[in-house]
């Protein structure tokens, strides 16, 4: 099968699975959300926003972003630093089932998010994630699983590593980008500073639980280093966002 025919097949599968899992990205809600979150919410809440290591962000091809998770603001910082205005493509988020409930869930369903059961991920969610990556999208997954406000060390679930291995087994080599996010306070206050740092992309090779475990350890160390750089930028000029 030629490359154009293969990509067409991926796009058809992607649209079919998207209809069953979420509503994709709304052409009218997404631009509105960018204005509300990036131009209003972030800039009015924080006095300074810094983005460090932007040269490490690939602007094309499949990409898994692995950010630290310190506050709910993280979900706005990622599109601000890596979203459509920067890379020309949206951040697609894999989130927990609880995040997709109620009014919040209604919006997330239409802003490129889809749910996964962390303890028992369905094959439908995993295949959809692989199809997104095969289509050259960038996918955000918080490998810590939940918000950790205190710096008590980074402990990762192996879901992200296993997803990268699954994609690789299907011919989709995915770089994993460690991301560190830091704020002036554990609970960000009005007038605080925020910083995001992109580390260098990591590659995963091989198969099996041991490979996933070893890669998760490498990723945790890279995320910690990126977060340390972000933390160091707080209160300084950093790299202008």
State percent of the chain over pLDDT 70: 86
Ordered by start, the domain boundaries in the chain are: 3-233
> How confident is the model at residue 104, as a pLDDT?
87
pLDDT at 24 over 60: yes
> How confident is the model at residue 29, as a pLDDT?
93
pLDDT tens across 169-205, in order?
Answer: 999 999 999 999 999 999 999 999 999 999 999 999 8
> How confident is the model at residue 114, as a pLDDT?
87
pLDDT tens across 145-155, in order?
Answer: 888 887 667 88
The lowest-confidence range among 9-18, 175-184, 215-224 is 9-18
pLDDT tens across 58-112, in order?
Answer: 999 999 999 999 999 999 999 999 999 999 999 999 988 888 888 888 888 888 8
Report which of residues 57 and 115 the model is more confident about. 57
Superfamily covering domain 3-233: Glycerol-3-phosphate (1)-acyltransferase (3.40.1130.10)
- SS3 of the chain: the string is CCHHHHHHHHHHHHHHHHHHHCCCECCCHHHHHHHHHHHHHHHHHEEEEEEECHHHCCCCCCEEEEECCCCCCHHHHHHHHHCHHHHCCCEEEEEEHHHHCHHHHHHHHCECEEEECCCCCCHHHHHHHHHHHHCCCEEEECCCCCCCCCCCCCCCCCHHHHHHHHHHHCCCCCCEEEEEEEECCCCCCCCEEEEEEECCCECCCCCCHHHHHHHHHHHHHHHHHHHHHHHHHCCCCCCEC
């Amino acid at each position: 099968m030629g490359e154009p025919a293969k990509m067409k097949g991926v796009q058809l599968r992607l649209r079919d699975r998207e209809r069953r899992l979420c509503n994709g990205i709304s052409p009218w809600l997404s631009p509105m959300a960018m204005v509300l979150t990036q131009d209003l919410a972030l800039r009015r809440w924080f006095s300074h926003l810094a983005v460090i290591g932007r040269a490490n962000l690939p602007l094309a091809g499949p990409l898994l972003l692995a950010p630290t998770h310190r506050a709910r603001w993280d979900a706005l910082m990622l599109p601000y630093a890596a979203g459509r205005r920067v890379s020309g493509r949206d951040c697609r988020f894999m989130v927990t089932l609880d995040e997709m409930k109620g009014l919040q869930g209604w919006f997330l369903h239409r802003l490129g998010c889809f749910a996964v059961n962390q303890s028992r991920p369905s094959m439908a969610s995993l295949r959809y994630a692989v199809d997104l990556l095969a289509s050259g999208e960038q996918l955000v997954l918080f490998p810590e699983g939940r918000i950790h406000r205190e710096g008590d060390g980074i402990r990762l679930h192996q879901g992200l590593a296993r997803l990268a291995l699954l994609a690789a087994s299907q011919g989709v080599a995915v770089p994993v980008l460690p991301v560190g996010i830091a704020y002036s306070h554990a609970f960000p206050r009005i007038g605080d500073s925020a910083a995001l740092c992109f580390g260098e992309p990591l590659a995963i090779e091989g198969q099996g639980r041991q490979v996933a475990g070893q890669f998760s350890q490498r990723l945790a160390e890279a995320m910690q280093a990126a977060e340390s750089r972000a933390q160091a930028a707080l209160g300084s000029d950093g790299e202008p966002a």
